[in-house]
Amino acid sequence: MPDTEQSIGCDAEHDRRLYERVVKRTRQWEGRIFSVDTLDVELFDGSHGYREIVNHHGGAGVVAVMGGRVCLVRQYRVALGRMTLEIPAGKIDGDETGASCASRELSEETGLVAEELIPLGIAEGSPGFTNEHTEIFLAKGLSLKEEHPDEGEYINTVWVDLDEAIAAVRAGELRDAKTCLGLLLARELL
C-alpha cells in the first residue's frame, strides 16, 4: 500500500490520466424521462473509447420518520421484475428544485406534508453509464393529508421501524441506492 496520503476529492486534477475528453456526442434516442447518447472519448494516451450514456433530469427522495417509524412505498418495478420498498421519490420536472420535487412526491405518494426538508445527500445510482442523481431530504414536522399518486402509479404506503429498515439495508433486503443512503444518513442525523 502506498504511503502517500490522498484527499477524498474527485476532481480531475488529482490524476489527469483518468480524464476522458468528449470528442463527439451523438443523440441515439429521446424519451419522456431520459435520452441516450453515444460518445467518442479521447483518453490520456491519445487512444479513443466508446461510451453509451443515459441522460436524466435527476430526482428527489424523502426520508419521512414519525415516532421511530419510516414511511416507505411498496411498488412493483418491472425493470427488476419484483416488488421494492423505497423512500417516496420521483423525477424533477422542468425548472423544479430538488426540495420542491421531494415535497411534491412526498405528498402525492403518501399524503404526508413536511414543515421542513433537510438536505441529507445525493445518490448517484450508476455513474458508469448515467448522470441520473437523486437529492435526498429528511422530512421534519410531518402532518397527514390525502395521498394522490400519479395516474398509472400503483403504490402502497408502509410504515417500518427505522432500526428494522436499517437492518434490512445491512441484510441486503433493501437495495435501492437512494433508499439505502437516505435511511443510513437519516439514522446518523436522528
Cell of 29: 434516442
The residue behind cell 420542491 is: 100
Supply the residues annotated as catalytic. 151
The burial class, CB within 10 Å (0-12 / 13-18 / 19+), for 115 is exposed
**Cβ pair 132, 34 in contact under 8 A:** yes
C-alpha–C-alpha distance, residues 55 and 22, integer Å: 15
Cell of 50: 466508446
Q: In whole angstroms, how far apart are CA 25 and each of 28, 38, 58, 130?
A: 9, 6, 20, 14
